[in-house]
């Protein structure tokens, strides 16, 4: 069974702090996606990483795909209240997308 | 930007009743999925659908659940006899090609009383 474990599960930080969210698996994936979900809405794609070791930046968000394509991280620099939400990693399994356990981030003003 | 549209946004039903949740996929997408999310919990896979048939289903997707694409556009999830534990957000997601990212609708909040 392919699983994606995320850590931490919950994170509450002050505005301006930095944070890192991790997504780990024992399986190798050809690509991995990060989504953000706000209350009452569906997950929205942030980024896709494809190549082992790849780093992608999206404003204050930095995404990295592990060299072995089994894990990924999301780093947020100088977090803002607008970053609050549920962050999900996901990867294509056989005939389905597998989602991580999620990291619920709250950024306090 | 093309969107996945789900209706209704909120459905309240009594235990034992049938419900049909509807999804209009992005027009050129080929792969369709239903996921559900119980409040505050993880996104759980229910079923995937391609070429007018189910590709895979989870153990949640028992014989009370069914999916179809009756008119070639709408993609529906039917729950024949709802249970209290079916209360959740149900998300439709579509995919243009295998291994491309999923596009989600805004979900249907199902409340079973």
What's the rounded Cα separation, in Å, for the pair B6 and B66?
Answer: 17
pLDDT, tens digit (0-9, with 9 covering 90-100), for A52-108: 999 999 999 999 999 999 999 999 999 999 999 999 999 988 888 899 999 999 999
B106 contacts on A by Cβ (under 8 Å): 40-42
Q: How many CB atoms lie within 10 A of CB B70?
A: 8
| Per-residue pLDDT at A1 | 66
Q: Please report the sign of the dihedral spanned by the C-alpha atoms of residue B28, residue A42, residue B43, residue A4.
A: positive
Contact call for B55 and A95, based on CB within 8 A = yes
Whether the per-residue pLDDT at A20 is higher than 70: the answer is yes
Q: Which residues of A25-57 are buried (b: 16+ CB within 10 A; e: fewer)?
A: beeebebbbbbbbeeebbbeebbbbeeeebebe
B interface mutation test: which of A41, A42, A87 has the most B CBs within 10 A?
A42
Length of chain B: 113
Predicted confidence band of residue B106 (pLDDT cuts 50, 70, 90): very high
């Amino acid at each position: 069974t392919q699983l994606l474990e995320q850590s931490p599960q919950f994170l509450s930080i002050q505005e301006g702090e930095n944070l890192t969210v991790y997504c780990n698996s024992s399986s190798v994936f050809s690509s991995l996606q990060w989504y953000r979900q706000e209350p009452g809405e569906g997950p929205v794609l942030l980024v896709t990483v494809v190549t082992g070791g790849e780093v992608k930046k999206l404003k204050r968000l930095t995404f990295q795909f592990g060299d072995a394509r089994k894990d990924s991280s999301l780093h947020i620099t100088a977090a803002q209240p607008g970053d609050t939400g549920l962050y999900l990693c996901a990867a294509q399994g056989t005939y389905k997308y597998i989602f991580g356990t999620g990291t619920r981030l709250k950024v306090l003003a | 930007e093309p969107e996945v549209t789900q209706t209704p946004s909120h459905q309240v039903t009594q235990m034992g009743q049938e419900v049909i949740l509807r999804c209009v996929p992005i027009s050129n997408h080929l792969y369709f999925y239903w996921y559900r999310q119980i409040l505050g919990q993880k996104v759980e896979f229910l079923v995937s659908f391609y070429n007018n048939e189910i590709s895979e289903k989870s153990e949640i997707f028992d014989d009370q659940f069914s999916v179809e694409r009756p008119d070639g556009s709408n993609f529906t999830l039917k729950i024949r006899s709802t249970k209290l534990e079916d209360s959740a957000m149900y998300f439709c997601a579509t995919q243009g090609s295998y291994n491309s990212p999923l596009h989600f609708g805004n979900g249907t909040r199902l409340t079973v009383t």
